[in-house]
Amino acid sequence: MAFVFNYSDIHLSDMQGEIMDNSNVDKGRRRFLTAAATVVGGAGAAAGAVPFIATMTPSEKTKAIGAPVEVDISELKPGERMIKKWQGKPVWILRRTKEMLDDIASQNEAVSDPTSQASSQPEYAMNEFRAREDEYLVVIGICTHLGCSPSFVLKDGDNSPVVDWKGGFFCPCHGSRFDLAGRVFKGVPAPTNLVIPPYKFITPSQLLIGDDSEAA
């Protein structure tokens, strides 16, 4: 005859006995109940964990642990910006036009750290355009003052923050302004240029943000 274990029935009656008088509970039976509870409890925890993990897509799992993020920039047109998340932070990718690059060069006197000596970026981005490739700015979109997210404001737009605005980024929280290389203008609260994350090109139209190691 098959043994059928009805955990809930036995457990309830014996637990009541144990609470009322521990000394009257048969020791062998108590050991059996403890082992049974451990098995059932472990099975329940495992059953709960599997669906949780199963609901995450591979890209969510990757992002969740802060791993590098691959970005396809093949559809990004000159003058456009796209936003991706890396380690929970917004990363802006701006494809700059020739005119935008010329405008950056014209702002050297107006920005407070033109050669990024006091700012944070990888060595390969410590240049005039703060980039591996002049055309593409890859920058963390968080204001270096108190962490607001600046807006991308095009040149000659209706909402230019100052006259003769060449285009760049404007932080609405306390008025900091940055040029199209993420360099901070003089006389605003933000102390340094926007931060450039580590990144590299996997192909001419694919970026990897968060990893700039060279191939072996």
Report, as residue numbers or ranges, the catalytic residues. 174
Binding part of the chain for ligand FES, among 19-27, 77-85, 115-123, 173-181 by CB under 6 A, reads: 173-181
- Read off the amino acid at residue 170: F
Separation CA 182–CA 143 (nearest Å): 10
Judged by CB under 6 A, which of 174, 186, 191, 206 binds ligand FES? 174
Q: Which residue stretch of 55-63, 152-160, 166-174, 191-199 sits at the interface with ligand FES (rule: CB under 6 A)?
A: 166-174
Site string for ligand FES, 136-165 (x = CB under 6 A): -------x-xxxx-----------------
As beta bridge partners, residue 178 has: 169, 184
Determine the size of the site formed for ligand FES (CB under 6 A): 12
To which residue do tokens 């000659």 refer?
Answer: 156
Nearer to ligand FES, 29 or 174 (CB): 174
| Half-sphere exposure in the Cβ direction for 136 (13 Å, CA) | 22
Q: Residues 189, 208, 210, 212: which binds ligand FES (CB under 6 A)?
A: 189
- Residue 194 engages ligand FES in binding (rule: CB under 6 A): no
Dihedral sign computed on CA atoms, order 116, 108, 131, 137? positive
Smallest distance from ligand FES to CB 146, Å: 4
Q: Report whether 180 contacts 154 (CB < 8 A).
A: no
Q: Whole-number minimum distance, CB 127 to ligand FES, in Å?
A: 25
- For residue 211, give Cα distances in angstroms to 28, 72, 84: 59, 15, 15
**Strand 199-203 relative to strand 206-209, pairing:** antiparallel
Closer CB to ligand FES, 73 or 190, in the complex: 190
Q: Is 190 in the site for ligand FES (CB under 6 A)?
A: yes
Q: How far is the CB of 150 from ligand FES (least distance, A)?
A: 7
Single-letter code of the amino acid located at 186: K
In whole angstroms, the minimum distance from the beta carbon of 172 to ligand FES comes to 8
> What are the DSSP calls for 130-174, one per residue?
SSSSTTEEEEE-S-TTT---PEEE-TT-TT-SSTT--SEEE-TTT
Nearer to ligand FES, 41 or 147 (CB): 147
10 is an interface residue for ligand FES by CB under 6 A? no
Rg (CA), the chain: 29
171 binds ligand FES (CB under 6 A): yes
Kindly state the greatest CA–CA separation across the chain.
92
For binding to ligand FES (CB under 6 A), which residues are involved?
143, 145-148, 171, 173-176, 189-190
